[in-house]
Each structure stands twice: as C-alpha cells, then as structure tokens.
Amino acid sequence: DLSPPGVGPTGKGRSLVSVPRFSGILVGGLVVQGIAILTVVIMVCFPVPVMVDPVLGSRVHLIRWCEWTPLAGFMTLMTECIDAPIYDGSRLTHDWRAKFVLSANETVSTLCGFFFPFCPNLWIWSLVMAFSTVTYSAILFRYAQKRRAFRNISRGNSVDEIELYDRSRMSLALHGMCCFIWTGILVTYFASNAGHLVVPTSW
C-alpha cells in the first residue's frame, strides 16, 4: 500500500516520493524472528546467564525465555486475526478486545517461566506457576468458544459466504493446532524439568 503524505499546513500538497506502508503482520513477524536470531547469536557467541530453578532443580536459560515470550503472544494473535469478521448488524468487524486479551494471556503465561528461578520459596513459586497455568488455559477456553460458534456457521452459496466460512474453519484448525502443540510443550516442560524428581537420572 503506497500512500504519499500531504505536504503543507493545508494538506493539499502531495510529495513526489511515495512512502511505503508495511503490513503489521510483516513487521511483527520480522521483529519476532529478529529476536529469535539475536538470542541464538548471543548464546553462541557470548556467556549467558543460566540459573537453577529452586524447586525443580533444573537449569533455566533466561535468554530462551526472552525469545519464547514474544513468540507466544504473536503466534496467538496471528491465529486469531485469520478468523472471519463478525457482522454486528451494520458492518463486519473483529472482536479485537478478545484477540488482544488472549494474546496477552499467552505472553504473560510464557513470561512466568523467566521468573521461576527468582522465586525465593515454594509458596511464591507455586503462585507463579498457578498464575502461569491459569493464563495459559485461556487458549483452551477460547478454542471451545470458537468451536461452538463455528457450528452455527453455514458455508453458504455466494463467494463472500464461502470465504468467511473457510477463514473461520482455518482459524479454528490453527487454533486447535496451537492448543495441541503448546499443551505438548507444557507436558514436555514438566517431564524434562521435574522428571528427575521421580525417575532416577541414570534411567
């Protein structure tokens, strides 16, 4: 989208040079990927802080959590934005508040992993873990909500109706994939970090 800005106090003038406007999806993706690349470079080339979880006794690479935190929120937001708009009686619109709240929940839930090694005792650690679990579970409730709403959508016959149906179906499928993968990551986290507490390390 190229839109030259107005020049002068009246805004009637036009610049001869077009100013490109980049998509927010492109900018967000580049920022998240840039952070991921930067964390890898830092871990390879420089000494990085590695702390020990006082409850689980596992090593915590703080730089990794700096990478995963923005990734979790951005992926959730992009999955939500694929969804079809809702007709409010006068126009098609998105429930932006629900989308931003959900992505913020996943961001905060992931960020809690950064603070576990700084918890001074079991009680505070348990509170942080409980808060992280509750905010993470928002994506599961959101999936159930989207699944119920999708049951009431018909494919229709017009091109616009088919497009809205396909976008809703794709968004639901991607949302379900996120729930499945991130739940698997959560299980893997507990297995790898707390497994040594119940299973001998030699095994």
Is residue 102 a contact partner of residue 95, using CB atoms and an 8 Å limit?
Answer: no
Position 10 scores a pLDDT of 47
Beta bridge partners of 20: 2
For the record, the structure tokens of 146 come out as 């989207």
Chain Cα centroid distance, residue 121: 29
CA nearest 74: which of 29, 105, 114? 29
Task: Compute CA distances 40 → 27, 53, 112, whole Å.
Answer: 20, 22, 21
For the record, the structure tokens of 128 come out as 């942080």
Q: What is the mean pLDDT of each run of 10 residues along the chain (203 residues)?
A: 40 53 77 89 91 88 89 86 67 78 92 92 94 93 87 77 80 87 87 76 59
Burial 28-62 (b: 16+ CB within 10 A, else e): eeeebeebbeebeeeeeeeeeeeeebebbebebeb
Is the Cα dihedral 49, 34, 21, 1 positive or negative? negative
Cα separation, 165 vs 161, in Å, equals 6
For the record, the structure tokens of 201 come out as 């390390």
Position 130 scores a pLDDT of 94
Position 9 scores a pLDDT of 47
